[in-house]
Amino acid sequence: MPNGAQALMKTLVDAGIEVCFSNPGTSEMHFVAALDNEPKMRAVLALFEGVATGAADGYARMADKPAATLLHLGSGLGNGLANLHNARKGKVPVVNIVGDHATYHVQYNAQLQSDIETVARNVSPGFVRTSQSTEQLCQDAVEAIAAAKGLPGQVATLILPADVSWGEGGKPCAPLPEPKLLGADDATLKTIAEAIRSGQKTAFLLGGRALREPSLMAAARIAAHNGVKLFAETFPTRMERGAGLPPVERLAYLAELATLQLAEYDNLVLVDSKAPVSFFAYPGKDSYLVPEHCTLHTLATPEQDALTTLNQLTETLGAGSAQPELQAPARPGRPRGKLTAEKVCKALGHIMPENSIVVDEAMTSGLMLNVMTAGAPRHDMLTLTGGAIGQGLPSATGAAIASPERPVYALIGDGTVMYTIQALWTMAREQLNVTTIIFNNASYSILNMELERVGAEEAGEKAKSQLDISGPVTHYAQLAQSMGVHGIRVHTTEELLKAMEYARDTPGPHLIEAIVPESLNGAKRKVLPWLLRSLPNLPRPVTKALKKKIAP
Amino acid sequence: MPNGAQALMKTLVDAGIEVCFSNPGTSEMHFVAALDNEPKMRAVLALFEGVATGAADGYARMADKPAATLLHLGSGLGNGLANLHNARKGKVPVVNIVGDHATYHVQYNAQLQSDIETVARNVSPGFVRTSQSTEQLCQDAVEAIAAAKGLPGQVATLILPADVSWGEGGKPCAPLPEPKLLGADDATLKTIAEAIRSGQKTAFLLGGRALREPSLMAAARIAAHNGVKLFAETFPTRMERGAGLPPVERLAYLAELATLQLAEYDNLVLVDSKAPVSFFAYPGKDSYLVPEHCTLHTLATPEQDALTTLNQLTETLGAGSAQPELQAPARPGRPRGKLTAEKVCKALGHIMPENSIVVDEAMTSGLMLNVMTAGAPRHDMLTLTGGAIGQGLPSATGAAIASPERPVYALIGDGTVMYTIQALWTMAREQLNVTTIIFNNASYSILNMELERVGAEEAGEKAKSQLDISGPVTHYAQLAQSMGVHGIRVHTTEELLKAMEYARDTPGPHLIEAIVPESLNGAKRKVLPWLLRSLPNLPRPVTKALKKKIAP
């Protein structure tokens, strides 16, 4: 009879969990040993837990099924918390396995003893369980897996005491049956259909799984049939887009811009998304971004299946045979001249192959990313769902493991890249096809903007130095090389293009460090037109209203 | 009238808190802006929260007063959790300031919203408070500071909503009065004195603040007068040692060895320490390490002042005029021949200047560190109090800021260094006198040992690959250079010595990467004598007993 860890490994694999992103310690050694008996389980080692959890997130976004993590006690969970937060906010399934001391060892309050469940509740409000016996372990595991995979997807934390793991008498369990997908009720469908037909202006806010092709096509049929506008939530978990797919405009990060995007709509229909709110609060500015005159409807809660509800609504509206608007192929031209963040985005749109995966953690430097890749060949975009920076490199790592045949581009700001820089090592170890592009502007650029937005305008040198990472300027290409990743620093647009072409044609991980000026390092009069260019569909004229909002 | 952040800044400085280790985000921008008005507050930027919290820990160990941290919401706290855990276990005072959304923004469940208090309780069981108003903020702050500084020292978490920070009407508060130090009661003193005088063998286990010079001298007087043995806890927060101070033997990490160290004692007296237990649980082995025949006494709980109780006991025993045994100066000779981990430790003992600070996170590679530095000039040793790896570089950063005139040596294993590698950037930015020595053996060496110790001996290639970090081997010297730290890789003992002498004579941060063979990569027959050499005072003959324990 297998021990607990061996039975758990079989249970995981039987439930389709075939990758474990791990950073183990002593209490997880039996789980590690059990890897040898289970050829279907791939273990991917990370040098830091935030890499493991972020990779599990990125993997699940692309594989459409959870991976397992393997973390070491409360401190390991703490290190992995930020990216589990991103997974939680993105409704991404993760089976989060945290090793613990043997049950009888807890009473001694040894060095690494801490309250793991307490920490786990932050990211796993729906499922935290410490398995109490080897016999019970696999039943706990299948329940954790079911909780993770349900709608909405979630982080399910299974705490695994060492003696439960090493104990004899493990009993593998078969996975629980898949739950039935929930649709919308008739009353809701009727109300929303009436609003759409009323002649009022209506927009959909698509989020979560509503940004995948089948849902997008259904929504686009309704849009074509009934003149509905399609928005995507600001930070999509995974958005399928590009040539041949319905074009959907993302709500802007800046509340001032999002408000303008939403201003003209009388009805906003949530489809696996939540009512838009400001990312942060700002003195004297609204947090809630739905206009006062606008009625909010919910077609699909995160507990419901977005596609089912969209199909129901299509039928109600008789939109089934409408021709959806599809994005025409339109790559931007080859960028020339002085290298800027915008030209990096343009180069990506110019070069990236079909079926690329784009991980966007470029912050201010990525403002033009949507515009520049809108007509590029079909691709997926993964974003920073929970706002906890340090998600990009790990997410790209996981996405590349889920989709080894697809090129992955990770666009990362230099203010965020260091949080989980250890991911480069895992990329090298696993020889993943990830091209990381770092925007090196030697600044927490977004915070310079935020410093003004919160009204702390009088900031002096000492305050500003807290947002300045130019002393010293990190050499990211050299840093990548130190971990076995091909790294190059580029200063010109020509160098950038050459490096991107080389990376595209050469398997394995690459890091391109683009030296760019700070995107927002200008007077507001320069920033404003630039922000407007990032939202080409914003109804004109808006400049005056915008100026008032941005700089009242 | 100042805003909340400005009043808080003044309150912190008035309470003697003069350094803030920060990794701010938008919700902390008013705190950042308030730095400009307070010349006495030094803000030290970290690129990762674990660096900020570990630096606050190391700073407080050397400064004997807390620093503040500045973290961004629940995810930032998560990233800082592991090193706050180490501070908690080390009874180190930290005023842990975590920014939060504005109070009225919480209801909107924005991207970064999470339950911060829940996470904080893991490391701040004694004090977690979300300040509810600008008016109340500074009173909350002085209570947090008092909680942090009390005995035992602790991590006090003050959660600072953005609107409490930016609100007008802040009222700075004066610090609360220092609490009275508690000693031992007469009955305890009498019982312990009787045990010591009984003729039975008695040992003291000194921990926490009992490992500082005044307490060490008091304990050593008692030792000289009454034939008591002095042990130090396995992972001291800060241990003053070297030539001219009483020599104290640290309990070994390996439970098998610690058991042998304690075997002959009938009484064990705890002085600001806890009863020794095994770091982890192992199948079939004891977790509790106090021998069955041994009576446990507590002279000072962590709530009491160790020095007061030792002075009381000295008086009770009439030991006040005894001459304590003091360590004679005895540097090891200049190491020669093939470079090994042991020779790195020997080189440190040979070279390090008086008043050095040694941060020990060398794991298996540091086994000979205590022996090799025992007779070196007086120094402080800071260790991994909570077992959460990734403590060394941040702790060294904080120690160097607290003690700018003292050389800091950080001895770090390559299995632990990557967790908080971003500390190198802060060392470069602040031009700290830290010499980091990385033992590059391309392995989680301690886990290879632990894999066997937990009985998972059948481990195959797949399991072992989870403990092998040789593919790729990180180039740590290059990595250091990428962040502006002078880095060099050494392969020979001569190169090592030359690099250490250069670092000693050249201000600013240095990183020396020593390529060494894996310490424990041998047959048990080789490991055994080596373990024994690390504990030269172990009563002989022990080899047979030890063999039985290590390899039963």
Residue B121 sits at the chain A interface (C-beta within 8 Å): yes
Pairing of strands A68-72, A94-100: parallel
Residue B24 sits at the chain A interface (C-beta within 8 Å): yes
User: Which amino acid makes up residue A512?
Assistant: I
Closest Cβ opposite residue B479 in set A79, A428, A479 = A479
**What's A226's domain CATH number?**
3.40.50.1220
- Reported as a pLDDT band with limits 50, 70 and 90, residue B461 is confident
What would the pLDDT profile of B227-237 be if each residue is shown by its tens digit?
999 999 999 99
The pLDDT value given to residue A526:
63
Q: What is the mean pLDDT of residues B154-171?
A: 97
What would the pLDDT profile of B258-303 be if each residue is shown by its tens digit?
999 999 999 999 999 999 999 999 988 899 999 999 999 999 999 9
Residue of B nearest to A454 (CA): B29
CB pairs below 8 Å between A and B: how many?
322
Q: In what order do the strands lie in the sheet with A94-100?
A: A42-45, A19-22, A68-72, A94-100, A155-161, A128-130
In a domain, B266, yes or no: yes
In a domain, B28, yes or no: yes
User: Are residues B112 and A465, on separate chains, in Cβ contact within 8 Å?
Assistant: no
Closest Cβ opposite residue A459 in set B33, B163, B479 = B33
Residue B421 sits at the chain A interface (C-beta within 8 Å): yes
Closest Cβ opposite residue B35 in set A43, A45, A463 = A463
What would the pLDDT profile of B334-369 be if each residue is shown by its tens digit?
999 999 999 999 999 999 999 999 999 998 899 999
In a domain, A550, yes or no: no
User: Are residues A454 and B26, on separate chains, in Cβ contact within 8 Å?
Assistant: yes
In a domain, B177, yes or no: no
User: Are residues B278 and A105, on separate chains, in Cβ contact within 8 Å?
Assistant: yes
What would the pLDDT profile of A351-367 be if each residue is shown by its tens digit?
999 999 999 999 889 99
Q: What is the mean pLDDT of residues B438-457?
A: 78
Closest Cβ opposite residue A166 in set B74, B112, B454 = B454
Q: For residue B482, list chain A residues with Cβ-Cβ distance below 8 A.
A: 474-476, 478-479, 482
Average pLDDT, rounded, for chain A: 94
Same domain membership, residue B226 and residue B198: yes
What would the pLDDT profile of A163-211 be if each residue is shown by its tens digit?
999 999 999 999 999 999 999 999 999 999 999 999 999 999 999 999 9
Per DSSP, chain A holds a count of helices (H) and strands (E) of 21, 18
Label residue B268 left, alpha or beta by phi (over 0 means left) and psi (-120 to 50 means alpha). Answer: beta
**What's A50's domain CATH number?**
3.40.50.970
Residue A467 sits at the chain B interface (C-beta within 8 Å): yes
In a domain, B264, yes or no: yes
Q: Which residues 305-324 of chain A have a CB within 8 Å of chain B?
A: none
Same domain membership, residue B352 and residue B297: no
DSSP 3-state assignment of B374? coil
Residue of B nearest to A79 (CA): B79
Residue A339 sits at the chain B interface (C-beta within 8 Å): no
User: Are residues A166 and B279, on separate chains, in Cβ contact within 8 Å?
Assistant: no
Q: Indicate if the pLDDT at residue B552 is higher than 50.
A: no
Q: What is the mean pLDDT of residues A49-65?
A: 98
Q: Indicate if the pLDDT at residue B421 is higher than 50.
A: yes
Which of B189 and A257 is assigned the larger pLDDT?
Answer: B189
User: Are residues A47 and B458, on separate chains, in Cβ contact within 8 Å?
Assistant: no
Compute the nearest-CA separation of A350 from chain B (Å). 30
Same domain membership, residue A388 and residue A313: no
- Reported as a pLDDT band with limits 50, 70 and 90, residue A521 is low
Same domain membership, residue B209 and residue B97: no
In a domain, A543, yes or no: no
Residue of B nearest to A465 (CA): B45
Residue B69 sits at the chain A interface (C-beta within 8 Å): no
The pLDDT value given to residue A346:
98
In a domain, A74, yes or no: yes
Residues with Cβ within 8 Å of residue B435, at least 6 apart in sequence: B407, B408, B409, B410, B500, B503, B504, B509, B510, B511, B512
Percentage of the residues of chain B whose pLDDT score is greater than 90: 85
Chain-centre distance for alpha carbon B290 = 24
The pLDDT value given to residue B471:
87
Same domain membership, residue B15 and residue B110: yes
Give the residue numbers spanning the domain of A515: 341-521
User: Are residues A280 and B104, on separate chains, in Cβ contact within 8 Å?
Assistant: no
Q: For residue B102, list chain A residues with Cβ-Cβ distance below 8 A.
A: 280-281, 287
User: Looking at residue B23, what DSSP letter applies?
Assistant: -
Q: Give the sign of the dihedral formed by CA A441, CA A383, CA A253, CA A371.
A: positive
Same domain membership, residue B144 and residue B49: yes
Residue where a domain terminates, one of A110, A131, A166: A166
Q: B162 vs A344, B37, B79, B101, B137, CA distance in Å?
A: 35, 18, 20, 5, 12
Q: Indicate if the pLDDT at residue A552 is higher than 50.
A: no
The pLDDT value given to residue A464:
87
Distance CA A531, CA B121 (A): 42
The pLDDT value given to residue A524:
53
Same domain membership, residue B147 and residue B201: no
In a domain, A531, yes or no: no
DSSP states along A129-180 = EE---HHHHHHHHHHHHHHHHSSSP-EEEEEEEHHHHH-B-----PPPPPPP
Residue of B nearest to A168 (CA): B283
Q: For residue A301, list chain B residues with Cβ-Cβ distance below 8 A.
A: none
Same domain membership, residue B490 and residue B348: yes
The pLDDT value given to residue A447:
79
Average pLDDT, rounded, for chain B: 94
Distance CA A11, CA A139 (A): 9
- Reported as a pLDDT band with limits 50, 70 and 90, residue A454 is confident
Residue A13 sits at the chain B interface (C-beta within 8 Å): no
Same domain membership, residue A364 and residue A301: no
Q: For residue A53, list chain B residues with Cβ-Cβ distance below 8 A.
A: none
ipTM > 0.90, yes or no: yes
Range of weakest confidence among A59-68, A542-551, B200-209, B495-504? A542-551
Q: For residue A25, list chain B residues with Cβ-Cβ distance below 8 A.
A: 447, 450
Residue B475 sits at the chain A interface (C-beta within 8 Å): yes
Same domain membership, residue A379 and residue A268: no
Q: For residue B22, list chain A residues with Cβ-Cβ distance below 8 A.
A: 466
Range of weakest confidence among A110-114, A500-504, A547-551, B458-462? A547-551
Residue where a domain terminates, one of A247, A282, A317: A317
Same domain membership, residue B313 and residue B346: no
The pLDDT value given to residue A544:
66
Same domain membership, residue B26 and residue B91: yes
- What total of structural domains would you count in chain B? 3
User: Are residues A466 and B32, on separate chains, in Cβ contact within 8 Å?
Assistant: yes
Q: What is the mean pLDDT of residues A219-223?
A: 98
Q: Indicate if the pLDDT at residue B417 is higher than 80.
A: yes
User: Are residues A109 and B274, on separate chains, in Cβ contact within 8 Å?
Assistant: yes
Q: For A172, list phi and psi in degrees, rounded to 5.
A: -60, 145
Residue B463 sits at the chain A interface (C-beta within 8 Å): yes
Residue where a domain terminates, one of B98, B131, B166: B166
Distance CA B126, CA B148 (A): 9
Q: For A305, list phi and psi in degrees, rounded to 5.
A: -90, 115
What would the pLDDT profile of A120-151 be if each residue is shown by its tens digit?
999 999 999 999 999 999 999 999 999 999 99
Q: How far apart are the first and last CA of chain A?
A: 71
